[in-house]
Chain A
Amino acid sequence: DAGITQSPRYKITETGRQVTLMCHQTWSHSYMFWYRQDLGHGLRLIYYSAAADITDKGEVPDGYVVSRSKTENFPLTLESATRSQTSVYFCASSGAGANYGYTFGSGTRLTVV
């Protein structure tokens, strides 16, 4: 599991600020995903990427931007943070595609004040 790392683990930011969450994997997995986890909503897909330079929206993409210039990195940017984006964010990767198991990172707990 050390093959997928997220940073930072904890982040407090102010409303309106831009913040970037980092995700790095060492397996050269083609698929990478960003989820947010909130009480009562489970895990919701924000964005995913099938390969470098290919990204697509998930269930809750509004307010987020992603990029994938390199296979191993998949940063998630909140362009102008809002309190509703306070959540735990999980990055995940999969080697064979969306219909194989994911490996999750340790998560980033983001608080927007």
Chain B
Amino acid sequence: GENVEQHPSTLSVQEGDSAVIKCTYSDSASNYFPWYKQELGKRPQLIIDIRSNVGEKKDQRIAVTLNKTAKHFSLHITETQPEDSAVYFCGRDTGNQFYFGTGTSLTVIP
């Protein structure tokens, strides 16, 4: 359907560990998959995105992987730091409309 399933809803990791957030979708017309980070009381900001013709994309400690066959994509954060603590939203886009997941609250414990 239209929704994007995002898991987990909350995630706590020790500083320096990795964090993985997964999103699944069912609409095969989806061709763009961004990830947004929202710190408390602030606006969501785009941190990384991937298009349907790419399987993986990295930007320093952040990476996104896409499995089109299984219709899921994941955000990977390595060497987590306290400033990574925030709510992360995945999204999917068909070119006409855009849907967000319900968010994952990530807490990095110093």
User: Binary interface profile of A, 87-108, with partner B (CB < 8 Å = 1, else 0)?
Assistant: 0001000000111111111110
Please provide the chain B residues from 73 to 100 with a CB less than 8 Å away from any CB of chain A in the complex. 89, 93-100
Chain A residues within 8 Å of B97, by CB: 45, 48, 58, 98
Question: B43 to A99, Cβ gap below 8 A?
Answer: no
Number of A-B contacts (CB under 8 A): 57
Interface string of A1-21 (1 = CB under 8 A from B): 100000000000000000000
State how many residues of chain A have any CB contact under 8 Å with chain B.
Answer: 24
A99 and B2 alpha carbons, distance in the complex (Å): 15
Q: Which of A40, A90, A97, A101 contacts B43 (CB 8 A)?
A: A90
Of B32, B44, B96, which is within 8 A of A104 by CB? B44
Cross-chain contact B46 with A102 (CB below 8 angstroms): yes
Bitwise interface map of A from 51 to 79 toward B, beta carbon under 8 Å scored 1, else 0:
00000001100000000000000000000
CB distance from B102 to the nearest CB of A (A): 4
Enumerate chain B interface residues (CB-CB to A < 8 A). Answer: 2, 6, 31-32, 34, 42-46, 49, 51, 89, 93-103
- Can you pick out 22 interface pairs between chain A and chain B where the beta carbons lie within 8 Å of each other? A33-B98, A35-B100, A42-B101, A42-B103, A43-B89, A45-B97, A48-B97, A59-B99, A98-B94, A98-B95, A98-B96, A98-B97, A98-B98, A99-B51, A99-B93, A100-B32, A102-B34, A102-B44, A104-B43, A104-B44, A104-B45, A105-B43
The list of the 5 closest CB pairs from A to B, nearest first, reads: A99-B32, A42-B102, A101-B46, A104-B43, A43-B100
Binding site for B on A (CB under 8 A): 1, 33, 35, 40-45, 48, 58-59, 90, 97-107
